[in-house]
Structure 1
Amino acid sequence: MRIHVTDLQPGDTITKDAFNPHGVHVMQKGTVLQLEEISKLLQHSIDYIEIQARELHLHASTPEEMPDSLYRIKPQFDQAIEAISSIFMNALKHGKFDEDVVDDAFQPVVDSLMKQKDVVSLLLMLNQEDDYTTRHSMQVGVLSYYLSTWMGYSKDEAYEIGKAGYLHDVGKCRIPKEILNKPGKLTAEEFDEVKRHTTYGYEIIRESMDDELTALVALQHHERDDGRGYPQALQSHQIHPYSHIAAVADVYSAMSSTRVYQSKRQLLHVLQELYRMSFGQLNGKPVHAFIKHMLPNFIGKKVTLASGQSGTIIMTNPSDYFRPLVQTSAGFIDLSKSSEDAIKDIKL
């Protein structure tokens, strides 16, 4: 059965060796195709391929179901989210929190992260939580941990960086709820008060822990390389590397979340925005490491397009990393060449 590559489906079995137009052997006869193999054939500009008749074989399973691993680790995340609420409450009431509560909650999460490689599915799961502040703290802790490992930090360093991300917003406990949850634009005085959460966080952490670096991350996570951040308007070389990492995680989580004054943005679009910010605002080294390691996580994810079609991301375009190749029931849509369509939503 001869078929065009764009009409292939996961589970098809090729019956002849596949060669690209230059005669290079690409795939062996008998290969059962999944999205990765179909992407490889497309990358090698192969037009037609021989497959086993579909009515004569069973299709392999497709990656459409939420991974069981997420269900297994969700209790650790729920506990950590409850713990950050308790930490905020104690910090507000007593000016400090119990460091043991942080480790007891965050260490099991890190143990789970070591087994969970699908970061995008993890973020989509965390985005289902209701309270923005606690969910955001959890996301920044998780992303800071992952990013530090991707950048080559040791296991112990990655844990400390992740924990700093987990606690980065603890100073918000002192910001009045009516300001934090205000749906409209903040006044200049209200924004000045919001900016103080960085200083408040530093003070609370120093009171609670003998850990200058964790406190420094809380203080500096809104500093920017161009000196336009707060609270101290530091330049890039004055900002601690841990704070650079937490800043990337903080921006990504904030932009991809629903807030009282902002609808969540599509995850790939946020990556594109991070890339833009890496030239002057956010430090380029953690941003580019983040993008490099996040992009493969989108392969196999179900999407809804602006046109209303549903499909699956099967390949990242080398010409435009943020507008991938999507397979729909009608065929393939190359978003890098289709300016009239775009990804509206990404799902588990």
Structure 2
Amino acid sequence: MKTKKVLTSNLKPGMVSSEAAYTYTNHLVIQSNTTLTPEIIDKLKYYAVKSVRVYIPDEDAPKEKEKNTPTDTPQEKAPVSHGPSFDGPTYFERVQQTEQFVEFKDNFTSSISSFKDELNDIVAKNATDVTDNMLHEVDSILGRTRNSLHLLDMMQCLRGFDDLTYTHSMNVALICNVIGSWAGFSKDDLNTLMLCGLLHDIGKLKIPAEIIQKPGKLTDEEFDLIRSHPKLGYDILRSKNLDDRIKLAALQHHERYDGKGYPRQLAGIEINEYASIVAIADVYDAMTSNRIYRKGICPFTVISMFEKEKDLYNPHYLYLFMKRLVEAYVNTEVILSNNERGKIVLLNQNLLSRPVVITDKKTYDLSRDFSVDITALI
């Protein structure tokens, strides 16, 4: 049977994958020979899987060729996060057009350059006196934002940054600041938490860059090496004059609350509290990065995926993060998957990703009506 590569935005329920699909960090999303369902397609979008190779029946192959379908030409397809068409700038496009965003982007770029040198100094020169400078870089970025939601919106709109260790670690630190602030952390604890984010992936600097940046599927040996970065990071930090929570965040940020993480398969309260916050920030950044081809994921799509995998994370901090994030979008206008334009008027506490939306035609309680989704903020 023949196969073809199909953009994730063009996948249809019932299609069957002809090979496994991986995230850009080479984590398995689906196995080969998986029959796609709406939930699986959502998961592929959630993890920013750009395309999937699927089987096509032999009798359909010539027909597909004759049609010259644009499935392999992403420039001809609207970004996946936008769903229905909309005349005018979206919520995040309007953010990008602000003077504050231009200043934020310039400051972010400058801070990443300094942070890169400081992180390398810890590894190469055994430096321990650069953490204050690192926190200064974070504070400089935070100073360009009005509040936590504004910060997340600015980060959502950044484009063109390769998701290398440095940019990703800065993003995780910023998201940790958001979670810690919402949790009421003291200034000292917040600084410690942000250092946890800044240093959580330092072990990746011990892994050859060609493996970290490899665009294709990793070999088993390469994948095992990638999975060793928490232990490598802990080994770098273990003897340094740093708070133990920072060292444990490096070691435990891939542990999961259900005990199926790595490297030690810790579960529940066995995982350090700060490491469990870094885990949430780490995954959130992974979901909202790699934005060049899709102009950002709708926050409600992100929250939906967290809800589906809630057993993997510290429930207190996960629910706090989701709740505060969606609360900020009450009274925001949205586009629904049926092309109707409406306004979020009420949250469903038990299903935060599916609020009540009022349009000109009717009121949708999305926690009861699963035929309609929020596809974009406007």
Q: TM-score, normalised by structure 1?
A: 0.67
1:159 is aligned to 191
Q: Could you tell me how far 1:124 is from its partner in structure 2?
A: 1.5
1:190 to 193, 197, 222: 222
Q: Could you tell me how far 1:233 is from its partner in structure 2?
A: 1.6
Distance 2:299 2:223 in 1: 27
Distance 1:188 1:176 in 2: 15
2:345 is aligned to 315
Q: Relative contact order: is structure 1 or structure 2 higher (C-alpha 8 Å, sep ≥ 6)?
A: 2
| Residue type of the alignment partner of 2:206 | R
Q: Could you tell me how far 1:154 is from its partner in structure 2?
A: 1.2
Distance 1:301 1:310 in 2: 14
Q: Could you tell me how far 1:246 is from its partner in structure 2?
A: 0.8
1:223 is aligned to 255
Q: Could you tell me how far 1:101 is from its partner in structure 2?
A: 3.0
| Residue type of the alignment partner of 2:227 | K
Gaps of 5+ in 1: 1-62
State, as a whole percentage, how many aligned pairs show the same letter: 29
Distance 2:148 2:319 in 1: 21
Cα deviation 1:66-102 (Å, max 9, x = unaligned): 3654445444433332233323444554455733431
- Give 3-state SS (helix, strand or coil) of 2:352's partner: strand
| Residue type of the alignment partner of 2:364 | D
Q: Map of 1:120-159 to 2, 5 A cutoff?
A: 120-126=152-158, 128-133=159-164, 134-159=166-191
Distance 1:258 1:149 in 2: 26
Q: Which moved more, 1:241-250 or 1:73-82?
A: 73-82
Cα deviation 1:289-315 (Å, max 9, x = unaligned): 1111110233465656555x4856533
Contact kept? 1:99, 1:208, Cα under 8 Å: no
Distance 2:227 2:199 in 1: 16
Contact kept? 1:137, 1:169, Cα under 8 Å: yes
Q: 1:95 to 1:172 in 2, by over 3 A?
A: farther
Q: 1:341 to 1:198 in 2, by over 3 A?
A: same
Q: Could you tell me how far 1:141 is from its partner in structure 2?
A: 0.8
| Residue type of the alignment partner of 1:241 | E
Contact kept? 1:140, 1:166, Cα under 8 Å: yes
Q: TM-score, normalised by structure 2?
A: 0.63
Asked whether 1:293 is paired with 2:327, we answer: no
1:232 is aligned to 264
Q: Could you tell me how far 1:123 is from its partner in structure 2?
A: 2.8
2:209 to 164, 177, 202: 177
1:246 is aligned to 278
- Give 3-state SS (helix, strand or coil) of 2:263's partner: coil
Q: Could you tell me how far 1:346 is from its partner in structure 2?
A: 4.7
Gaps of 5+ in 2: 1-90
- Give 3-state SS (helix, strand or coil) of 2:354's partner: strand
| Residue type of the alignment partner of 1:283 | N
Distance 2:352 2:315 in 1: 17
Asked whether 1:211 is paired with 2:247, we answer: no
Distance 2:313 2:195 in 1: 20
Asked whether 1:270 is paired with 2:272, we answer: no
Distance 1:103 1:77 in 2: 13
Q: Could you tell me how far 1:108 is from its partner in structure 2?
A: 2.5
| Residue type of the alignment partner of 1:195 | R
- Give 3-state SS (helix, strand or coil) of 1:152's partner: coil
1:284 is aligned to 315
Distance 1:221 1:201 in 2: 11
Contact kept? 2:193, 2:246, Cα under 8 Å: yes
Q: Could you tell me how far 1:175 is from its partner in structure 2?
A: 2.0
Distance 1:335 1:177 in 2: 48
> Runs of 4 or more off by more than 6 Å in structure 1?
none
